Amino acid sequence: MRVKIIGSAAGGGFPQWNCNYRLSRAARAGMPGVHSRTQSSIAASADGKGWVLFNASPDIRQQIAQAPELQPAADAPLRSTPIRAVVLTNADVDHVAGLLSLRERQPFAIYASAQVLATLEANSIFNVLDPSIVPRRLLAPMEEVAIRGADGHPTGVVVGSFPVPGKVALYLEQGGDPGADFSSDTGDTIGVRISGADGRGAVFYVPGCARIDAALRMRLADAACLLFDGTVYTDDEMITARVGQKTGARMGHIAMSGEAGSIAGLADVKIGRRIFIHINNTNPVLDENSAEHAAVKAAGWEVAADGMEMEF
């Protein structure tokens, strides 16, 4: 199984188009140790030929341009793609908007939870992907699903999905009730376990997660590799950076640091390799020379960068 991180930033990317915070400025200036990143997506392949994308980010065109393995092969038909399927972990803009760039009547399959499929259904713009050409399939929770292309051929990639604490996409929130529970685990956000047909060497991809509970810790215990929500380093980071009013918790994202953070919450779980992904443009770990980056590394974590590849 090959896994390639094609987009390691959170929604907005890094630098974000309208962001003038010091980190986005440093990325634009080409400061050593501060690398630009595209929005949230990974790709997996069991045979090195057919690929399954996990999330379709608004940057997908650039991501394909930067990954030869996701481009049409030299000897392939005039219109073709090695992308056989796209699995969605929620309906956030940074995870579904890229579907619109995959139009042109090109067959592939979409897999998502019932909630996310309902959101695609309710937004007619997604009909640019004609369901008779791009089938939409249910990723039933807690089941191991063999991912198949539009033609029904198995890709060799098997995905198990499970609800994680999170919330609905921002544009689906109703009323903005500050007292609402933004870390419910009803399936608006899922985590996925990615493996080959033999089920071994599982990679877990959980780009959004509001809280670490006993169920999640148990589930992650056989992970060869975990790619986990690294949106913010501290819960109030966007407020102290003076770029927004929301905490990480309000956005459905657990912080890396602190007693209730992910580093502490997963410290005693046996995981082969742990990597933060979906990193927001306010997160100080984006600067490789920061104390926060050093702290994360010292705790045994890596910080994802675009183009990172793994083989299991």
59 binds ligand MLT (CB under 6 A): no
Give the separation between CA 285 and CA 279, rounded to whole angstroms.
9
19 binds ligand MLT (CB under 6 A): no
Give the separation between CA 42 and CA 203, rounded to whole angstroms.
11
180 binds ligand MLT (CB under 6 A): no
Give the separation between CA 311 and CA 236, rounded to whole angstroms.
36
Would you say 303 and 292 are in contact if contact means Cβ atoms under 8 Å apart? no
Judged by CB under 5 A, which stretch of 8-16, 23-31, 131-139, 215-223 contacts Mn ion? 8-16
56 binds ligand MLT (CB under 6 A): no
Would you say 4 and 42 are in contact if contact means Cβ atoms under 8 Å apart? yes
Judged by CB under 6 A, which stretch of 25-33, 92-100, 120-128, 178-186 contacts ligand MLT? 92-100
135 secondary structure, DSSP code: -
Environment class of residue 37 by beta-carbon count within 10 Å: exposed (0-12), middle (13-18) or buried (19+)? buried
Number of amino acids touching ligand MLT (CB under 6 A):
9
Query: Which of 59, 94, 188, 306 touches ligand MLT (CB under 6 A)?
Result: 94
Q: Looking at beta carbons, which residue is closest to ligand MLT?
A: 11
β 273-277/301-303 pair status? parallel
**With respect to ligand MLT, which residue has the nearer C-beta, 210 or 225?**
210
**With respect to Mn ion, which residue has the nearer C-beta, 92 or 237?**
92
Residues with Cβ < 8 Å from 251, sequence gap 6 or more?
167, 170, 182, 231
93 binds, among ligand MLT, Mn ion, none (CB under 5 to 8 A by kind): ligand MLT
92 binds ligand MLT (CB under 6 A): yes
Residue numbers of the site for ligand MLT (CB under 6 A)?
10-11, 92-94, 170, 208, 251-252
